[in-house]
Amino acid sequence: MADLTITARDGSGSFGGYLALPDSGSGPGIIVIQEIFGVNAGMRQICDWLAGEGYVAFCPDLFWRIEPGIELTDKTDEEWQKAFELYKAFDVDLGIQDIAATLETLRSHAAVTKRIGAVGYCLGGLLAYLTACRTSVDASVSYYGVGIDNYLDEANSIAGYLLMHIAEEDQFVDKAAQKTIHEALDDNPRVTIHDYPGVDHAFARPDGINFDKQAAELANRRTLDFFAQHLKR
């Protein structure tokens, strides 16, 4: 792990996050986009996993404008309440600006070679989709993104490639929203969508209350194949 500081585009300050480097010391970059629980142990674990696969993985602290350094879990009611308060206070547009600033910093980082991707979970799943729409990221992966159906008019702006993992029993993304997403994106040649029957939101969260080993392993394998195709070629 090494530190990395990003300067905000709007001049309001700077923020950090968790950086994991591969054993080789260099590789394609991946921005790991947090859930509503901040840059916690689960996000760091994902960064370490991707670093083990040869990527320079960085998880920026996107809650820094509200309260920097947030680390919550999904294990207590108090943490859930705090997480939802942060979610309600979070500005999506500013969040994407911060991701764009992160992308610019990674492109000039000495350890990053070739292309850069992004992967996000929950709130981060929405942000991963919007990162594909609003930035020059090469490949983006969305795990059970919440609220994507409200931004489908931006899909024509996708310049790279997008992979989406949808939990069919997602308590935060109902069947109507899932149907709308499919109708809007299934014919887009830059988008691939996989559905996971019988699993709930956050089925791939390490040590999460809805973790489903079989579905998580399948989604993660598809994610690695996707990144290998678009970032390592």
> Which among 98, 138, 149, 170 is annotated as catalytic?
170
Please name the amino acid found at residue 228: A
Whole-number Å distance between alpha carbons of 145 and 188: 18
Angle at 122 between CA 179 and CA 194, to 5 degrees: 45
Cα 151 vs. chain centroid, distance in angstroms?
Answer: 16
Q: Give whole-number Cα distances, 32 to 54, 181, 197, 206, in Å.
A: 14, 23, 25, 14
- Give residue 106's identity as a one-letter amino acid code: L
The stretches of the chain forming alpha helices (DSSP H) are 41-52, 77-89, 92-107, 123-134, 175-185, 213-231
Amino acid identity, residue 115?
R
Q: Residue 191, SS3?
A: strand
Of 206, 117, 127, 194, the C-alpha closest to 161 is 117
Taking the C-alpha atoms of residue 92 and residue 201, their distance in angstroms, rounded to an integer, is: 20
Residue 187 annotated to the active site: no
Examine the residue annotation and report whether 201 is marked as an active-site residue of this protein. yes
The active-site residue out of 74, 98, 200, 201 is: 201
The residues annotated with a catalytic role in the active site are: 170, 201
